[in-house]
Amino acid sequence: MTGIRLSIIIVNYNTDTLLKDCLNSIFQYPPKKQFEIIVIDNGSTDDSVIMLEKDFSNIQLIKNNSNLGFAKANNIGIKLSQGDYVLLLNSDTLILPESLNKIINYMDSHLSVGILGPRLTGLNGETLQMSWCGAPISLSGEIVIKLFSPKYISKYRFARFIVDYIQRRERKVMHIAGASMIIRKKVFKDIGLLDENFFLFFEEPDFCWRARKKCWDVVFNPDIKVIHKLGSSTKKLGSSVMIHYRKSQLYFYKKHHSKYQQNCLRLYLLIKFHALKILHQKNAEIYNQLIKLVKES
């Protein structure tokens, strides 16, 4: 027994400033119980590694030669982790007072909970993002995601009210947002690690789906809060984010949905990308790539 209760795993790719702020917040508000931090650097070309080696000698740093993707990099950290609970944390997050203590205490007292998600807030404490999903990944869900995207939430007062209201109470959910996801170590023994076929996006709904099939509860707890600077860690990926997102979405449907549902998704995406190509001709190349991706899936 190591005595480590919580393993915090952060995957980094060219987010040196965000990562430094994230790590400082952890050490500013550490849990009372023993913990460890494992940072997996995915071949960053900025000053991330220099900063980590200079300022954070008390963490475990793994340096990959290239960008292995979110799932594969996290799995490296999970295999090295020694804690009873694993916190997968984005580099664009900030830990708040008592959050880490609350995570450990909650998981200790709720043994049926395999995966726990906190309430994700903005820097000013506002809720402009969903921290969980209560319905299966589907085409109808795609519309809901659009309606409750940060773009619309920030624009419409009613959307802000709805998002705030439905995130006021603890509840069992379909999946947790991957920016901050706590996993009981026993869950990995039951269902395995993250699926490395997901390079970026859809890892968490897939993992939660598999956990629920093994009768683990997936729970959202609004009493635990984490600041998430939404999208900051993926900004430098540029238009490739769209490719990664749709590639992972197509794989998720292939893994979890029927042939009929897969074909419906392909048809929807082809119509959508052809229309966007006409409307936004300056971005024609990226839409051509997306159309090719759908056709070859």
pLDDT in tens, 18-51: 999 999 999 999 999 999 999 999 999 999 999 9
User: Residue 157's pLDDT is what?
Assistant: 72
Q: Does some domain include residue 80?
A: yes
Residue 288 pLDDT more than 70? yes
Model confidence at 263, pLDDT cuts 50, 70, 90, reads very high
Q: 59 to each of 35, 213, 221, 290, how far by Cα in Å?
A: 10, 34, 28, 39
Cβ atoms within 10 Å, residue 212: 18
pTM of the complete model? 0.89
Residue 231 pLDDT more than 80? no
118 within 8 A of 131, measured Cβ to Cβ: yes
Which are the contacts of 160, defined by CB distance < 8 A and separation ≥ 6? 126, 127, 128, 153, 154
Its domain, for residue 86, covers 6-236
User: Residue 153's pLDDT is what?
Assistant: 64
- Pick from 85-94, 152-161, 279-288: least confident: 152-161
Q: Does some domain include residue 62?
A: yes
User: Higher-confidence residue: 269 or 154?
Assistant: 269
Rounded Cα distance, 216 and 128, in Å = 28
Q: Does some domain include residue 256?
A: no
Which are the contacts of 229, defined by CB distance < 8 A and separation ≥ 6? 18, 92, 93, 94, 122, 123
* Dihedral angle of Cα 10, 15, 16, 20, to the nearest 10 degrees: -50
Q: Does some domain include residue 241?
A: no
Q: Where are the alpha helices (DSSP H) in 6-64?
A: 16-28, 48-55
How many C-alpha atoms does 163 have within 13 Å on its Cβ side?
A: 27
Rounded Cα distance, 228 and 95, in Å = 9
Q: Does some domain include residue 284?
A: no
- Most distant CA atoms of the chain, gap in Å: 61
142-146, 197-201, 215-219 — most confident range: 215-219
Rounded Cα distance, 6 and 185, in Å = 10
CATH number, domain containing residue 227: 3.90.550.10
Share of the chain above pLDDT 90, in %: 77
Residue 155 pLDDT more than 90? no
Determine the average pLDDT of the residues in 181-192: 98
Angle at the Cα of 220 (from 135 to 194), degrees rounded to 5?
75
Domain count, the chain: 1
Q: Chain-wide mean pLDDT for the chain?
A: 91
Helix axes 16-28, 48-55, angle to 10 degrees: 30
Which are the contacts of 244, defined by CB distance < 8 A and separation ≥ 6? 199, 200, 201, 237
User: Residue 202's pLDDT is what?
Assistant: 93
User: Residue 294's pLDDT is what?
Assistant: 97
- Pick from 74-83, 148-157, 190-199, 224-233: least confident: 148-157
Per DSSP (E only), the strands in 140-259 are 171-172, 175-176, 180-184, 217-228
